[in-house]
Amino acid sequence: MDREVVQAIDRVIHEIHRNLGERITIDDMARIAMFSKFHFTRLFQRVTGIPPARFLYAVRLQEAKRLLLSTSLTVTEISTMIGYSSLGTFSTRFKSCVGLSPTAYRELRGFTPQIPTDDGRRTRGHTVTIRGRVRLQSPAVHDPVFLGVFPEPIAQGSPIRCAFLRRPGPFVLDRVPQGTWYLLAQAVRAESETGLDDGPPNIGVHGPLSVRPGSVHTAIDLRLRPSRPLDPPVLLALLDVRQKALSASAI
């Protein structure tokens, strides 16, 4: 990707973070990037993996997660601070993406007791087993790892399949249905007292991955690296790795 394009998208993301409580349109973003609206939208998705409007609400929800855990602000105050005029819209989107209501997320300190998979409409037809290995840039780090299969390169909502690994290493995901998917992973710091940590988390993305009849996926190498501003945030609330739920390798 052209360096100037990446710098332009990075500039837009910086402005998104600076003005979360303000109304920000795609036209505004395109002007900041100094591209036409159509060209900007196409380049933004190519760089980040998701459309600019989706990136905007993901950053807003990530900030809401932080505020819920680090302040005593009410849910209404937080929704207003991050640019929502409707508390109902904010709460609905938060629960859909994070997996918990804002109140439950705060009460559980950013963790969830379980991560349900999206089995409802994808259990029939051809499925495959996906095998591979999760690697970390620093081999001295042995944090547990969340691994999920998602329809887009953003960890939100219910994954198609998911697993928790005690540490980076081999993984197996069974019964992955037909479709085009992304493998998303995040190392979860075991010493963390909340679902959010200081500093960028280690994440990994592999995809798009096409699952078709007869396809075989047995040697995926998923490397974790520190997340960057250009990466969509992980919105899904993760398991509390201090609990014995981690003893099961898959959810």
Instruction: Indicate the pTM of the whole model.
Output: 0.88
Which residue in 135, 145, 139 sits closest to 201, CA to CA? 145
Q: Rounded distance, CA 177 to CA 179, Å?
A: 6
CATH of the structural domain 127-248, one choice from 2.60.40, 1.10.3470, 3.30.9, 2.60.120:
2.60.40
Residue type at position 59 = V
Which residue in 24, 21, 44, 61 sits closest to 234, CA to CA? 61
Tens digits of residue pLDDT in 192-226:
656 566 678 899 999 999 988 777 777 899 999 99
Q: What is the per-residue pLDDT for 250? A: 44
Residue type at position 216 = V
Q: 146, 162 in Cβ contact below 8 A?
A: yes
Q: What is the per-residue pLDDT for 61? A: 97
CB atoms within 10 A of CB 188: 24
172 CB-near residues (< 8 Å, 6+ apart): 129, 130, 131, 163, 249, 250
Q: 220, 172 in Cβ contact below 8 A?
A: no
CATH code assigned to 3-108: 1.10.10.60
- Grouping H, G, I as helix, E, B as strand and the rest as coil, residue 217 is strand
- Grouping H, G, I as helix, E, B as strand and the rest as coil, residue 62 is helix
Going from the first residue of the chain to its last (251 residues), give the mean pLDDT of each consecutive group of 10, the final group possibly shorter: 90 95 94 96 96 96 97 97 95 97 96 83 73 81 87 95 92 92 88 63 92 82 93 92 50 44
Q: Please report, for the chain, the start and end positions of each structural domain, with discontinuous segments joined by +.
A: 3-108, 127-248
Instruction: Give the chain's length.
Output: 251
